[in-house]
Amino acid sequence: MSISVTTWSLEQTAPGDLIPAKEPDGDVRIVRAEVPSPEFSRFLYTAVGGDIRWTDLLPRTYAEWLRHLERPGTETWVAYERGTPAGYVELQSQEHGSVEIVYFGLIPAFRGRRIGGHLLTYGTARAWDLADRWPGLPPTDRVWLHTCSKDGEHALGNYQRRGFRLFDTRVEEERDVATPGPWPAAGPY
pTM, 2 dp: 0.91
pLDDT in the model for residue 40: 96
Return the beta strands (E) in the chain as ranges: 2-12, 28-32, 74-81, 84-93, 98-106, 142-148, 165-175
Q: How many residues does the chain have?
A: 189
CATH of domain 2-175: 3.40.630.30
Q: Mean pLDDT in runs of 10 for the chain (189 residues)?
A: 90 98 94 97 92 84 96 98 97 96 94 94 98 96 94 89 97 75 53
Per the CB < 8 A criterion, the answer to whether 53 and 175 are in contact is no
Q: What is the DSSP string of 126-156?
A: HHHTHHHHSTTSPPP-EEEEEEETTS-TTHH
φ, ψ at 11 (rounded to 5°):
-150, 160
What CA dihedral angle connects 160, 164, 170 and 172, to 10 degrees? -60
C-beta of residue 124 within 8 angstroms of C-beta of residue 12: yes
Q: Give the per-residue pLDDT at 176.
A: 73
Instruction: State the pLDDT at residue 189.
Output: 45
Residue 27's φ and ψ, nearest 5 degrees, are -95, 85
Rounded to whole angstroms, the Cα distance separating 88 from 30 reads 9
Element housing 121 (H / E): helix 115-128
pLDDT the model gives residue 149: 86
Cα–Cα distance measured from residue 171 to residue 70, given in angstroms and rounded to the nearest whole number: 33
- Which residues have C-beta within 8 Å of that of residue 23, sequence separation ≥ 6? 114, 118
